[in-house]
Structure 1
Amino acid sequence: MTDRFATLTFTRQVAAPLATLWQAWTAPAARAVWAAPAPTVTVVFLEADTRVGGREVSLCKLEGQPDIRCDCGWLDLVPPQRCVNYEVISCEGVTQSAALVTADFVPAGEGSQLVVTVQLSSLAADMQAGYRQGFGAGLDTLAQVADRTMVLQRRIMAPRQVVWGAWMNPETLPRWWGPDGFSCRTKRIDLRAGGEWVFDMIAPDGTVFPNHHRYGEVRAEDRISYALHWGENGPKHADAWALFEEADGATTVTLGMIFSSAAEFQEAKGFGAIELGMQTLGKLARFVGAA
């Protein structure tokens, strides 16, 4: 096979800041949104551990076709500049290809540039063409997703166990959640994978904002993912995640949200979602006695 080995390079200009693009690339909840190579393909993540030595296992599902399995291993992560991973593609237990994937993140004006280099070894025909199509489409989607992604981050001077406990406790979460002056009125709360929180956020002037959070992954003291809906069983307006990273006795909380459309993202920015979200993380810090 003359094209068994190949080096493929993909470059994308992304309007989002570097830190936001990094989160869109690495956070498992975000990768699940943009990873599909085509609208007809569904990607299911069986395992996701984004740290050096961690693994990610996913299945690409297309109706009428056997599943394509991707086994990924993270070799290097230097946020928000560079990451390296290997991936092995297989179908029905037969390896199709192996690749080393290097992603470099470079500031570009108010946005970012992403350069992805794939060193590919093909064991089946047409893998080079498949990579060009699949990676190209996925990165196009990533650029769109990053442009409607909001990332908030706060370092809280408390151990991760304490911060996680304040977030994932049905008794305490409603006591601090929301911007300054807001309160929560809970209808149902079940903080586990597959669970939900149905509640009203009540503004200082008494305005009621119905909310419904549906929880996906819950990985103890590490991360959670959830979908945000406008009221109980209402339309989804964002996919969200929270990451908890501890260093030197403090916990960095990263809250990410991918809005369902660019219009919703701009509307949220317009009414001050970034400032209000940072107020929410500030209330969490005060609740655990770290502010």
Structure 2
Amino acid sequence: MFKADPIVTLEENIVRIERLFDAPIQLVWEVWTNPVHIEKWWGPKGFTNPTVNFDFKVGGSYRIVMRSPEGVDYPIIGKFLEITPFQSFVISDLVDEHPDEWVKEVQKMAGITGDREILNSKLRVLFEENEGKTKVVLITEFANNQIRDGFANSGMKEGWSESFEKLEANALPNPNQISLEKKLKHSQELVFNAFANPLTIDTWWGPSGFKTTTKTMDFKVGGKWVFTMVGPDGKVWPNTIQYKEIRKFDYLEYLHGSGEENKNDDFLVNVYLIALDKNQTLVKMQMTFPDTNVRNAVIAFGAIESGHQTLSRLNQYLEK
């Protein structure tokens, strides 16, 4: 099993932490920027994240509430200052809502006094891919070296190390899989019916700029949905889905491929529709490929971005 330990170095006003992950950059970026994934891994072992608000755009705000095993909340708030897709993002890291006891302890370790605002920092997260693996570099900039040392001595390395372990175990999919998740503000039944309706599925299925045309759709176990997708460049993509299991209203399982006899390109898709509330559904799509090389090739072709665009189009369709 792949195992990488984080590397920590101290620079002028900066704590730098590096960690290597055995996954393509698109997958690692996904689990760092999608709030549904962030709540699975952020924080040391034993910590949960009951609140993850993530308006991932320049100028957007975020708020993550980490809850310790003892039930103490450590809210982290800030704004997104810079975003370069699949390369880096920069956030302000504000401790305004952290407990007073934590603030006093860190100030004591740093040998400083005064307002808590002096503990605020800026975090730059860099992503670098090499041969299918992704290095993540965290560069946290503090007001001075005293505060840098206070944080470094307060368990910063250990906290991030445990977060990274949770990220690998709880957020990254298996080496031959892709996992997409999105929360929709619609009922479980409404979302299920959007997948099941042959008269309307063409209006939302597929990435942005693609047009889907259904030839036949027999929505039942053993039935097939045969359709074409035409890209913005006019290229036609034949598709066939064969339903293996349907559980009303919370689960679909199907084989998806081109349907061409001379191609062995089918992959398995599991769709979970989890009712979080009366009008909120978590859509989880898990795609399983023959091996890691096929998975990585599909990711390089844009599968993750295409999947998100499709789910966004589904959300827009339901809102109408």
1:1-291 mapped onto 2 (5 Å cutoff)? 6-38=13-45, 40-89=46-95, 90-92=97-99, 95=116, 97-121=119-143, 126-128=150-152, 129-144=154-169, 145-146=171-172, 148=174, 150-151=177-178, 169-175=191-197, 180-183=240-243, 188=248, 197-199=249-251, 201=253, 212-216=272-276, 225-226=282-283, 240=284, 268-270=288-290
In 2, are the aligned partners of 1:52 and 1:75 still within 8 Å (CA)?
A: yes
For 1:50 and 1:216, how far apart are their aligned partners in 2? 22
- The one-letter amino acid paired with 1:119 is E
Q: Which has the higher strand share?
A: 1
In 2, are the aligned partners of 1:174 and 1:186 still within 8 Å (CA)?
A: no
* Cα-to-partner distance string for 1:95-119 (whole Å, 9 max, x where unaligned): 4731111111112122121111011
- The one-letter amino acid paired with 1:120 is F
What TM-score, normalized by structure 2, do the two folds share?
Answer: 0.52
Range with greater deviation from structure 2 (140-149 or 102-111): 140-149
Name the CA shift for 1:269/1:186 in 2 (closer, same or farther; >3 Å). closer
Name the CA shift for 1:146/1:170 in 2 (closer, same or farther; >3 Å). closer
Range with greater deviation from structure 2 (138-147 or 42-51): 138-147
* Cα-to-partner distance string for 1:73-129 (whole Å, 9 max, x where unaligned): 111111101111111123247747311111111121221211110113487995332
For 2:278 and 2:58, how far apart are their aligned partners in 1? 20
Counterpart of 2:216?
none
For 1:78 and 1:184, how far apart are their aligned partners in 2? 40
In 1, are the aligned partners of 2:39 and 2:52 still within 8 Å (CA)?
A: no
Name the CA shift for 1:210/1:269 in 2 (closer, same or farther; >3 Å). closer
**Please, what is the CA RMSD of the aligned residues?**
4.6
For 1:210 and 1:30, how far apart are their aligned partners in 2? 18
In 2, are the aligned partners of 1:218 and 1:225 still within 8 Å (CA)?
A: no
For 1:173 and 1:134, how far apart are their aligned partners in 2? 41
TM-superposed CA distance for 1:64, in Å, is 3.0
For 2:129 and 2:254, how far apart are their aligned partners in 1? 39
- The one-letter amino acid paired with 2:241 is G
Q: What stretches of structure 1 of length at least 5 have no aligned partner?
A: 154-163, 189-196, 227-239, 241-254, 258-264
TM-superposed CA distance for 1:214, in Å, is 0.9
What TM-score, normalized by structure 1, do the two folds share?
Answer: 0.57
| Number of positions where the alignment pairs a residue of Structure 1 with one of Structure 2 | 215
In 1, are the aligned partners of 2:15 and 2:148 still within 8 Å (CA)?
A: no
TM-superposed CA distance for 1:6, in Å, is 3.8
Q: What stretches of structure 2 of length at least 5 have no aligned partner?
A: 1-9, 104-115, 181-185, 206-224, 226-238, 257-268, 315-320
- The one-letter amino acid paired with 1:148 is N
Matched residue SS, 1:103? strand
Matched residue SS, 1:180? strand
In 1, are the aligned partners of 2:245 and 2:252 still within 8 Å (CA)?
A: yes
- Larger radius of gyration, structure 1 or 2? 2
